Amino acid sequence: MKSFKLFYIAVALLTLLFMAACGNDEGSKSKDNESQDTEETGSSENGERTVTDAMGHEVTIPEEPKRVIASYLEDYLVALDITPVAQWSVSDGSSVQGYLQDSLKDVPTLPHDLPLETVASFEPDLLLIDSAGMVEGNKYDQYSKIAPTYVVGEAENNDWRDELKRVGEVFGKEEEADQVLKDYEQKAEETKQQVQESIGDESVAAIWLVGDTFYVVNDQLSAGDVLYNDLGLTKPNVVKEIADKSTANWSEISLEKLAELDADHIFLINSDGDGAKKLQDNIWQNIPAVKNGNIYEYSADKTSWLYTGPVANTKMLEDIQEKLVK
């Protein structure tokens, strides 16, 4: 989800697209649903705890894990003031979650697909896996031979609030996780009131330019979850139409359909380096956001807009507040 040499660009960008499609909730879940709590099944005198993960594995958690790998879950670790021993990356470590680097700049990288030898080389004492799909086949058994392995979510796309609570429970930081959620909900409500007072029912869209192709965010997933659910902003008709046909976080939008985008404001995540100019071509001059100069552009290597979690979503709220609150 954030420029690459020509040889690597295709692999890196496609990987980012896949991971961005796997970082959020499926959208059909309500935010009011309670988190499926980690089941604590026992503890020992040395402080170890046995908990049950999303796949039903009973996992023994060290009393104070020191060398944690939680690839693509680093957002939750940062929110809970936990530093992993290695962090998620693509393209031989040249692309990481840039928005987290204030906290993770000195943390070495490991490939997103978690090769066994590389994982073992970091000598972890705890592995957190984002979803069950990442340990299909015998991968879970192989990882478990390296370190206790806890699967956080059962589905590919899991509600970030539930994942935060599960991660908090694994580390015995339930209260901290609850406080992170309270802080986020308060900031979201404050931002919602300010933005709606500023722009009313004007519509907002998020677009990603990558590989010379435009993608529009789903109205229930990723940045769309923040825009349309947390902030209650107006969805352009084109966004609703595309989201109804796709379960991905970001769905390709044709140039013809892009020209019909009835958005008053556009947040543009640019992975190609020439994003705003592309939108200003004649074919898109009738888009309200283009006509009125309401395009807010962010580079993909720094932005949080391609990811999800308490840190990413809070940074999105800050971006939205900065651009839309007059």
Span 163-173, pLDDT tens digits: 999 999 999 99
Note whether residue 10 is domain-resident: no
**Residues facing 298 on adjacent strands:** 269
Q: Are residues 160 and 286 in the same domain?
A: no
Annotate the chain with three-state secondary structure: CCCCCHHHHHHHHHHHHHHHCCCCCCCCCCCCCCCCCCEEEEECCCCCEEEECCCCCEEEECCCCCCEECCCCHHHHHHCCCCCCEEEEECCCCECCHHHHHHHCCCCEEECCCCHHHHHHCCCCEEEEEEHHHHCCCHHHHHHHHCCEEEEECCCCCCHHHHHHHHHHHCCCHHHHHHHHHHHHHHHHHHHHHHHHHHCCCEEEEEEEECCEEEEECCCCHHHHHHHHHCCCECCHHHHHHHCCCCCCEEECCHHHHHCCCCCEEEEEECCCCHHHHHCCHHHCCCHHHHCCCEEEEECCCCCCCCCCHHHHHHHHHHHHHHHCC
pLDDT for residue 4 is more than 50:
no
Asked if residue 13 has pLDDT above 50, the reply is no
Per-residue confidence band for 3, with pLDDT thresholds at 50, 70 and 90: very low
Confidence (pTM): 0.86
CA distance 12 to 313: 23
Q: Which of 141, 172, 203 is the last residue of a domain?
A: 172
Mean pLDDT, residues 141-152: 98
What is the C-alpha to C-alpha distance for residues 321 and 326, in angstroms, rounded to an integer? 9
Alpha-carbon Rg for the chain in angstroms: 20
Name the pLDDT band for 8 (thresholds 50, 70, 90): very low
Q: What is the CATH number of the domain that holds 149?
A: 3.40.50.1980
Query: How many separate domains does the chain show?
Result: 2
On whether both 155 and 204 belong to a single domain, the answer is no
Domain range for 280 is 185-324
Residues 52-83: tens digit of each pLDDT: 999 999 999 999 999 999 999 999 999 999 99
Same domain? 238 vs 303: yes
Q: Where does a domain end: 111, 137, 172?
A: 172
Lowest mean per-residue pLDDT among 23-32, 105-114, 231-240:
23-32
- In this prediction, residue 45 has a pLDDT band, given cuts at 50, 70 and 90, of low
Q: Tell me, what's the pLDDT at 37?
A: 45
Quick check: 174 pLDDT over 50?
yes
The per-residue pLDDT for range 217-252, each reduced to its tens digit, is 999 888 999 999 999 999 999 999 998 888 889 999
| pLDDT of 34 over the 60 cut | no
